Amino acid sequence: LRLVYCLHALNHVLKDYRDQGLARPKVLIVIPFREAALRIVDIMISLLKSDEKSMVSNKKRFYSEYKLDNKDQRRGAKPEDYESTFTGNTDDHFRIGLGVAKKTLKLYTNFYASDIILASPLGLRTIIGSEGSKYYRQNIILSSVSDPQILSLFNKHCCNYNGKITLHRPETKGSISQVVVQLPQILPTHKDPVLAQTLIYVPSYFDFVRLRNYFVREDLSFVYISEFKVRGIKHIIFYELPLFPHFYSELCNMLIENRQENSSCTVMYSQYDVQKLTEIVGSDRASHMISSSKHIHMFVTGE
């Protein structure tokens, strides 16, 4: 996908002569980390090469600021998808302008003199100005998951007068099919007041702060951690469904070391979680759960 949108961006800059706006920049690519900017620039350099060697200005400076030596990183300590996402330079405050010609790529050009701008959300926010003509731009949003916030962004702010289109994956069986531990799952409330060794998964930082403050105020014994594997868990509570569906099966399968019959997984959800719920339990089950008059649904692995 990265190769495809880089090719599309270069083709748009070099060949679309009808795109004559009020400012020179034609393409904005919003990405999370400097490592992503590095990969994009490397792809663009390779695409601009022909029989002759392409010219890249400020290349040495760019690599010194965006490239990171990974030789000292300890591999295998985190899940594969985590290491793939957070490899390289993970600084999330950057912006860089690119000037493009047929065989030349200029790095660190002035923003209003640039053809392409690469920026993180934080880096973009510090330079953003007044609102432009939003009906005359092409928006491309790529995501491996379907998230209400992304859909809201698409529905409210992608307003091209030629229309818009969204593509979804076909119906899925959900990541619940990858849970190998036999335990009851998917309950909207956790009624047992005394459950030792319980892990509460909280994806939102704002919810985490609210929950942490509540535990402190109620003088409850707890610890909080981030992005680590935990042993000795007997019960899991999902305060909210995870954005990435495979997180669900990964956390449930952490209970396999416990091997006790009274283990359980409890999930709180609402009608606004239909996209996330579909990715967890599958399309058919999610449709039934959301439309059902019952407020409690239980699945047991293997059934």
Query: CA dihedral defined by 180, 183, 184, 185, rounded to 10 degrees?
Result: -40
Instruction: From 75, 47, 72, 41, select the one nearest 59 (Cα to Cα).
Output: 41
Collapsing DSSP to helix, strand or coil, 201 comes out as strand
Please tell me what DSSP assigns to residue 10: H
Q: If you average pLDDT over residues 21-31, what whole number do you get?
A: 84
pLDDT band at 188 (very low <50, low <70, confident <90, very high): very low
Can you give the pLDDT at residue 166? Answer: 83
Instruction: From 99, 118, 142, select the one nearest 38 (Cα to Cα).
Output: 118
Q: Is 269 exposed, middle or buried (0-12, 13-18, 19+ CB in 10 A)?
A: buried
Instruction: From 142, 66, 52, 134, select the one nearest 98 (Cα to Cα).
Output: 66
pLDDT at 192 over 60: no
**Separation of alpha carbons 38 and 87, rounded Å:** 12
pLDDT in tens, 109-139: 998 889 999 999 999 888 776 666 777 778 8
Q: Look up the pTM and report it.
A: 0.72
- Return the amino acid letter for 296: I
**Separation of alpha carbons 168 and 90, rounded Å:** 29
Q: Give me 29's structure tokens.
A: 């690519």
Q: Give me 63's structure tokens.
A: 């690599």
- Which of 9-23, 160-174, 176-190 has the weakest average pLDDT? 176-190
Positive/negative CA dihedral, 78, 82, 88, 93: negative
Which has more confidence, 52 or 14? 14
Which has more confidence, 103 or 40? 40
pLDDT in tens, 208-247: 999 899 888 888 788 888 777 777 888 888 999 998 888 9
pLDDT band at 96 (very low <50, low <70, confident <90, very high): very high
Can you give the pLDDT at residue 161? Answer: 82
- Residue owning tokens 């091997």: 259
pLDDT at 168 over 80: no
Cβ neighbors of 117 (< 8 A, separation 6 or more) are 25, 27, 28, 29, 95, 96, 97, 98, 111
